[in-house]
């Protein structure tokens, strides 16, 4: 099938302001991109990196688990990703008796590899520009609400047309604020098995304290394997499935890195907003960021109290705590660095330049002259409701776990209250047994009770009464703002806090209207929907203006690198290995070593403990062929590549297509980077490939894996 892609406006002829910045579409690399890459040390052709007509590096890159990136590193489907990307799957296999989180897991034979229900990986199969089809019937007179409905309807029709094959996942994705739409067709593999996971003291070393900072000393990796049916096709899990025969896999280079070395990353960055207005930046600094920080701080404080007191609770909540804490610290850093790097003021200056450019030409004034009036109206509404919007989600229907669970029962309860056929209701209820079993496996009611009460106390205290769910307002007024006693009683009564009560209810389901947690959840969701109506009103007022602003910026700044914002589609970034100056008299080297790991070691500390066998290896300097020329074991290094969330697990590739590292984080000084790339200080933090191999061979004693890899 002939595959052609069309990039809008002047993208193909755009000048590149700085090579390190840019999340480029790998199927649309232009001559200037390639010239920059080659000048920096890339020896690969565009076809070797990305091709639909022959195997290429892109065939080794996967979306992992719906939120990360992974890469194939052997001919038999071995898949490398980050420890934090695979943590939830390791947690599901763990118990006090088999504590794979603390001790690690190492399969010395394929028969020991563990299946992971619900985990899948996606390989990119096809890309097609569908802008014309998506915008069919959209005219200059179409209202924003009408446009949204047409885009939704047309996109759905396109997905249905292309997504009829089994194990294919098709989606239509907007680019450039909705000025372009591209179809992505993925092949989905659903049998993905855990092969190895390092112990907590390697894979999670530094935890919250070190997160989003440099220097780092973390072995952030897990290894899985992709399986197929006997004919090599994607398949659901079956015991007799076979390892995938890889179309492409990445060899591993043992030479290490030095300043100036070329580094390329292919992966699936999640979300950036580099072309947003100053109104967006202001809202994050003043409303969204602080609200998320406050809610998650409260949740994490209560998690920690229970996790530190009980190892079983630690195992149950390790993945949940990591998920909450990651973007808790992200928003702390983002708010701080947006202010420190004056991003709001820089956006305002850009908007004034845009106004001047528009006013200098009557045609431009006719097209762009009034766009900011709608944008301003949009953000007036969002500035008013954003904090409550966040609290409804973070402290409300998604705050306490039992409340979140109760939301899943709304459809069933609506059927009960509508007096639907009893046989049908019982059949429907039967489907919830698996949901209940999975929920209570990793649930601690005492912890959840404390979390729920604390979050509702915060909700009642911090949100204006006009923007608060009526039930939270009522309960708060009746209890002097303290939800502790009310939630304690609710947890004793609700079917969603006890597996026996829920099982009994599923046997004879009846209306949940008197269940206190369900009633509270229902009220919060109803209140959220009312807020969402105002959110949609805001979007209808401002989205057209923001879309035109994007179009106008590209017209005004034809020498700027207008790569599209990240949207969890495959991107390529390129840069070099470099140190950086973080602040006055603060200069950071480009790599860290095992000596730094030992310097941070704190016995018994959940963030900085190190297993005894690892300490023994370090004491003997048993680094083997993985030591550098100084005899050091390099752990992490940094590059100037442009990445964001979703790139976690992405391969760091040298100029000849070999794996040299594994991307896993960004640095504190550039936490504003999702809105504004910070050329001088933005760095990608990577795990060195030699540390990966050392962990596999020396710590895990998995010679079977070492033999399977292609090591140069």
Residue found by looking up tokens 């394929």 in the block? 110
Residues 6 or more apart in contact with residue 616 via CB below 8 angstroms: none
188: its two tokens: 């989905």
On whether the CB atoms of residues 161 and 167 are closer than 8 A, the answer is no
User: What is this structure's pTM?
Assistant: 0.94
Overall average pLDDT of the 525-554 stretch: 96
In which band, very low, low, confident or very high, does the pLDDT at 312 lie, cut at 50, 70 and 90?
A: very high
Report whether pLDDT(182) > 70.
yes
State yes or no: is 648 an active-site residue: yes
Residues 6 or more apart in contact with residue 52 via CB below 8 angstroms: 3, 27, 126, 127
Alpha helices in 494-611 (DSSP H): 499-507, 516-556, 594-600
The b-or-e profile of 369-388 (16+ CB within 10 A means b, else e) is eebbebbebbbebbbbbbbb
Q: What is the pLDDT of residues 601-628, one digit of tens each?
A: 999 999 999 999 999 999 999 999 999 9
In which band, very low, low, confident or very high, does the pLDDT at 13 lie, cut at 50, 70 and 90?
A: very low
Q: Which domains does the chain have, with CATH numbers?
A: 1-120+190-274+562-668+686-712 (2.40.10.120), 124-188 (no CATH), 278-554 (no CATH)
Q: Residue 684 burial (CB < 10 Å; 0-12/13-18/19+)?
A: buried
DSSP, collapsed to helix, strand or coil, labels residue 395 as: helix
CA 184, CA 207: separation in Å to the nearest integer? 35
User: Of these residues, 20, 129, 191, 220, which one is catalytic?
Assistant: 220
Q: What is the pLDDT of residues 75-126, one digit of tens each?
A: 999 999 999 999 999 999 999 999 999 999 999 999 999 999 999 999 999 9
On whether the CB atoms of residues 650 and 265 are closer than 8 A, the answer is yes
User: Of these residues, 648, 650, 672, 674, which one is catalytic?
Assistant: 648
Alpha helices in 442-515 (DSSP H): 445-462, 470-478, 484-493, 499-507
Report whether pLDDT(15) > 70.
no
Report whether pLDDT(261) > 90.
yes
Overall average pLDDT of the 261-265 stretch: 98
Q: What is the pLDDT of residues 282-300, one digit of tens each?
A: 999 999 999 999 999 999 9
State yes or no: is 513 an active-site residue: no
User: Of these residues, 20, 74, 84, 177, which one is catalytic?
Assistant: 84
In which band, very low, low, confident or very high, does the pLDDT at 144 lie, cut at 50, 70 and 90?
A: very high
- 148's enclosing H/E stretch is helix 144-162
On whether the CB atoms of residues 215 and 72 are closer than 8 A, the answer is no
Q: What is the pLDDT of residue 2?
A: 34
Report whether pLDDT(562) > 90.
no
State yes or no: is 220 an active-site residue: yes
On whether the CB atoms of residues 537 and 381 are closer than 8 A, the answer is yes
- For 703, half-sphere exposure in the C-beta direction (CA atoms, 13 angstrom radius) is 0
Task: Look over the chain and give the mean of its residue pLDDT values, rounded to a whole number.
Answer: 95
DSSP, collapsed to helix, strand or coil, labels residue 258 as: coil
Report whether pLDDT(7) > 80.
no
Q: What is the pLDDT of residues 193-245, one digit of tens each?
A: 999 999 999 999 999 999 999 999 999 999 999 999 999 999 999 999 999 99
Overall average pLDDT of the 130-145 stretch: 95
In which band, very low, low, confident or very high, does the pLDDT at 19 lie, cut at 50, 70 and 90?
A: very low
In which band, very low, low, confident or very high, does the pLDDT at 561 lie, cut at 50, 70 and 90?
A: confident
By percentage, how much of the chain surpasses pLDDT 70?
A: 97
Report whether pLDDT(11) > 50.
no
Report whether pLDDT(9) > 60.
no
401: its two tokens: 């776990």
On whether the CB atoms of residues 548 and 542 are closer than 8 A, the answer is no
Residues 6 or more apart in contact with residue 440 via CB below 8 angstroms: 499, 502
Q: What is the pLDDT of residue 559?
A: 82
Q: What is the pLDDT of residue 164?
A: 85
pLDDT: is 15 or 560 the higher one? 560
pLDDT: is 28 or 457 the higher one? 457
On whether the CB atoms of residues 227 and 245 are closer than 8 A, the answer is no
């Amino acid at each position: 099938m002939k595959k052609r892609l069309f990039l809008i406006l002047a993208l193909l002829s755009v000048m590149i302001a700085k090579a390190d910045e840019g999340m480029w579409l790998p199927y649309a690399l232009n001559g200037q991109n390639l010239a920059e890459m080659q000048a920096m040390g890339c020896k690969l052709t565009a076809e070797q990196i990305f091709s639909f007509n022959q195997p290429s590096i892109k065939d080794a890159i996967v979306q992992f688990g719906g939120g990360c990136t992974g890469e194939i590193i052997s001919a038999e489907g071995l898949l490398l990703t980050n420890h934090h990307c695979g943590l939830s799957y390791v947690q599901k296999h763990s118990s006090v008796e088999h504590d794979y989180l603390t001790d690690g897991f190492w399969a010395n034979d394929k028969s020991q590899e563990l299946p992971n229900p619900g985990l899948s990986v996606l390989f990119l199969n096809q890309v097609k520009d569908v802008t014309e089809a998506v915008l069919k019937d959209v005219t200059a007179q179409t209202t924003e609400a009408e446009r949204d409905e047409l885009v939704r309807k047309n996109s759905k029709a396109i997905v249905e047309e292309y997504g009829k094959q089994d194990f294919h996942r098709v989606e239509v994705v907007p680019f450039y604020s909705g000025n372009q739409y591209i179809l992505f067709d993925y092949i989905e593999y659903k049998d993905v098995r855990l092969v190895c996971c390092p112990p907590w003291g390697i894979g999670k070393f530094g935890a919250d304290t070190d997160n989003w900072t440099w220097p780092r000393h973390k072995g952030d990796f897990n290894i899985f394997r992709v399986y197929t049916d006997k004919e090599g096709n994607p398949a659901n899990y079956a015991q007799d499935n076979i390892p995938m025969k890889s179309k492409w896999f990445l060899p591993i280079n043992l030479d290490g890195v030095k300043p100036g070395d070329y580094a390329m990353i292919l992966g699936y960055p999640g979300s950036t907003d580099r072309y947003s207005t100053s109104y967006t930046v202001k809202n994050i600094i003043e409303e969204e960021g602080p609200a998320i920080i406050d809610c998650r701080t409260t949740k994490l404080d209560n998690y920690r109290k229970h996790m530190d007191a009980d190892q079983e609770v630690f195992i149950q909540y390790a993945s949940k705590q990591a998920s909450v804490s990651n973007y808790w610290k992200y928003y702390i850093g983002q708010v701080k660095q947006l202010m420190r790097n004056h991003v709001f003021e820089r956006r305002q200056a850009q908007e004034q330049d845009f106004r001047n450019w528009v006013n200098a030409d009557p045609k431009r004034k006719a097209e762009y002259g009034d766009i900011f009036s709608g944008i301003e109206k949009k953000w007036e509404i969002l500035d008013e409701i954003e904090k409550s919007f966040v609290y409804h989600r973070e402290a409300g229907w998604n705050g306490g776990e039992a409340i979140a669970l109760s939301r899943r029962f709304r459809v069933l309860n609506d059927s009960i209250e509508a007096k639907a056929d009893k046989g049908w209701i019982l059949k429907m209820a039967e489907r919830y047994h698996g949901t209940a079993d999975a929920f209570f496996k990793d649930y601690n009611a005492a912890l959840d009770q404390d979390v729920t009460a604390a979050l509702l106390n915060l909700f009642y205290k911090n949100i204006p009464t006009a923007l608060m769910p009526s039930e939270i307002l009522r309960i708060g007024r009746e209890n002097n703002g303290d939800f502790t006693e009310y939630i304690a009683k609710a947890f004793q009564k609700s079917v969603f806090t006890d597996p026996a009560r829920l099982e009994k209810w599923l046997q004879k389901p009846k209306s949940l209207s008197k269940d206190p947690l369900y009633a509270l959840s229902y009220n919060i969701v109803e209140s959220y929907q009312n807020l969402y109506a105002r959110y949609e009103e805001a979007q209808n007022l401002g989205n057209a203006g923001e879309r035109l602003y994007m179009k106008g910026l590209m017209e005004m700044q034809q020498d700027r690198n207008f790569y599209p914002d990240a949207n969890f589609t495959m991107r390529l970034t390129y840069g070099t290995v470099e140190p950086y100056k973080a602040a006055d008299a603060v200069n950071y080297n480009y790599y860290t070593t095992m000596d730094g790991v030992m310097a941070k070691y704190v016995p018994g500390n959940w963030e900085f403990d190190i297993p005894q066998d690892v300490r023994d290896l370090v004491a003997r300097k048993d680094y083997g062929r993985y030591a550098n020329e100084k005899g050091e074991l390099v752990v992490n290094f940094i590059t100037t590549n442009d990445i964001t969330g979703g790139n976690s697990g992405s391969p760091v590739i040298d100029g000849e297509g070999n794996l040299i590292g594994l991307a896993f984080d960004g640095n504190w000084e550039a936490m504003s980077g999702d809105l504004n790339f910070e050329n001088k200080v933005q760095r990608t933090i990577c795990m060195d490939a030699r540390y990966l191999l050392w962990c596999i061979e020396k710590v895990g004693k998995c010679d079977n894996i070492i033999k399977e890899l292609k090591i140069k």
